[in-house]
Each structure stands twice: as C-alpha cells, then as structure tokens.
Amino acid sequence: MAALPRTKSLNVKARIGNAIGGRSAFTLVELLVVIAIIGILVSLLLPAVNSAREAARRAACLNNLHQLGLAVINYHDTFQAMPMGTYRRTEGGGRPEYQTNQASWIARSLPFLEEQSLFDQIDWNQEPGDQGLNIPVMGAGLSVVRCPTDSADLLDLDWVSDGGHPLKDYAPTNYVVCIGDTDESHLYTGVFGINSNTRIRQITDGTSKTMIISECKIADPFVRYYGAFSPYQSCLAGTARDVKRLTVEPRGFSWFYAQVNQAWNYNTILTPNDSLTTNHECQMWSDRTVLAARSRHPGGVQVAMCDGAVRFVTEDIEYDAWRVLGTIQDGEVATESF
C-alpha cells in the first residue's frame, strides 16, 4: 500500500487533535459560569453549615451547664448547702476582705467535675487567693467552664492584678452564678452570694423555677469602674462621661479567683443580652455591679436550674419573668414559658 503524502498525514492528525481539544477544553465564558454557579451553591449552603456548627456548639455549651449544675447539686447533697459564690474573711487577719481567699464556686465544685487532683492542689488559706500554690491552679484551662461559641482571648487586654498577675496567668470562664435581683453580692436574693450558704429548703419558689447558672461573654462588654455611688448611678443611667479606672478586671476573667463580681456572677436587673448596655456595664468597688447574662448564641442565653435542667431563655423574655427566675423566696414564680 502506498504511503500517504506527508502533508496529508499531518492534516489528518491536526483535525483529530482539534476535535479532541474542542471536546475537552472550556472557554473563558464557560469557566466563569461554572465559578458563578459554585459561588451561588456555596452561599446557599454556608448558612446551613454555620447553623449546624452553632447547633453543635450550643449543645456542647448545654452539656457544660448540665455538668456544672449537677456538680453544684451534688455538692449540696454532700455538704447540705450549695457552694458559696466566693469566700471573703470579714474580720481578723489584718487584711481587707476583698484581698482574702476569694476562691470561687467552681473551685469548690471541682471534685464533682472529676477534677479531684486539681482540687487537692488548692491552698484554701492563701490570701489573696491568686498567690502561692494557687497560681498554677488558677491558670489551668478547663473545657467544662468554656462555651465553644465564645472564642474570646483575654491576653491582649491591659490589666494587671493587685498581686502583679497579668491576664495570661488566669484561665477564663463563660459560666457565672445568679445573685438575684440585686447589684450587691453581699445582699444576694438568689442562690449565690459572698459567703453564701443556701440550702434547697430555702428555695421556696421551687427548684424548677429558680436558676443558678447562666453565661457571660468573656471580656465583653467593657466594665466601667466607679469608686463612689453618684458616678456609679450615672453609669447605670448611661450619662457618665468618664471612667475612674480604665483597666479593671474583665468579664469572666477567672474561673478560680472570684475577687470581683464580673468574674463569677450576674444579676437579673438586666434581661439577657441587654441591648442598652452592649458597650459597657458598671462596677462600684469589687462587690457591687450590674451585670447581665450574655452569650454569643443567637437570640438568648442558656441557664441551669436548681433541679438540674438546662433551658434556653430568649433575650426578649419579659423583665418581670426574668427577675423572678433569679430569686429564691420572694413568693413569685415565673409563669412565662421559655
């Protein structure tokens, strides 16, 4: 058989190559259309993915609250009283009460959170409580005291304790206990307070209608400090123009060292995620504050009740309903469903 002329052979190969190339390549317009379609699909799926992730984080947060609530209840079963919110020695020793031990309710509940070894390291006689043998304890990060939805970092905030500790020495928490409808933790109307010793039988409003633990956002909002009543009142009213001390302990800064209210409690003077105080909350001295329950969960906060249940409370709950959830024996019971 005679060979094809060389030029004819090359033309055949070129036609075959063009045909194959035409079927496998994208034009620029086609590529842009595909990218646009992928972008639309991602934009449609992303909210669902984020929603699923938040649902998982919220479930993990609920589990943390459930564990903490059961720890407090088991503490009561063992010692016939709830753990005190924080401890202050009020007389003797030559040291002001706000510089005494100040170990928190979480620290006292450690054995019931399967943290007996950490509990055994605590020096309960140390004053202030964030010194000596307690330094490594207060820096121990515990997953059960952190809400996965809140990834806030305290390390960039400019604050140093009276004992010379920067924030990096403390492990923060998202979980705080209720002192009731008062701004003074000495005069608590809820389950917890300074040197509190609450028994279940004192909760006459009902254990299923009284909350003990809720959430706070770490280092948010900023806490404004005032050392006198008049400017403190102005802060509450939103008319204060300045701050006496700019670098104060931030919200939830320590699960262990409950020296100031913003470390360990909230009250029901403000409803959850109160919108009027999103930029600041107010402190007078170390035991008088107005602090809302807050979370990064959309729409509200989770709370642990005295009977061990954990519920989600929406931020649009009626003020009176929220207030009575925090008190233990005022004769009022919340009737609003939440």
* 67 neighbors 167 (Cβ within 8 angstroms): no
Q: Which of 295, 298, 284 is nearest to 221 (CA)?
A: 295
- For 26, residues 6+ apart whose C-beta sits below 8 A from its C-beta are 34
Specify the amino acid at residue 145.
V
What confidence tens digit (pLDDT) does each residue in 118-166 have? 999 999 999 999 999 999 999 999 999 999 999 887 777 778 887 789 9
What confidence tens digit (pLDDT) does each residue in 256-276 have? 999 999 999 999 999 999 988
pTM of the shown model: 0.84
Least confident stretch, 41-45, 89-93, 107-111, 278-282: 41-45
What confidence tens digit (pLDDT) does each residue in 20-33 have? 444 556 788 778 88
DSSP reduced 3-state for 144: helix
pLDDT for position 49: 61
Chain centre distance of CA 268 = 16
What confidence tens digit (pLDDT) does each residue in 219-231 have? 999 898 888 899 8
How much of the chain exceeds pLDDT 70, in percent? Answer: 87
Give the Cα separation of 314 and 322 in Å (integer). Answer: 10
Structure tokens at 143: 């997953």
Burial class (CB in 10 A: 0-12, 13-18, 19+), 232: buried
> Quick one: pLDDT band at residue 236, thresholds 50, 70, 90?
confident
Alpha helix positions (H), the chain:
6-24, 28-79, 105-109, 116-120, 134-138, 229-237, 261-264, 319-325
pLDDT for position 23: 53
Beta strands 280-284 and 222-226: pairing type?
parallel
pLDDT for position 16: 45
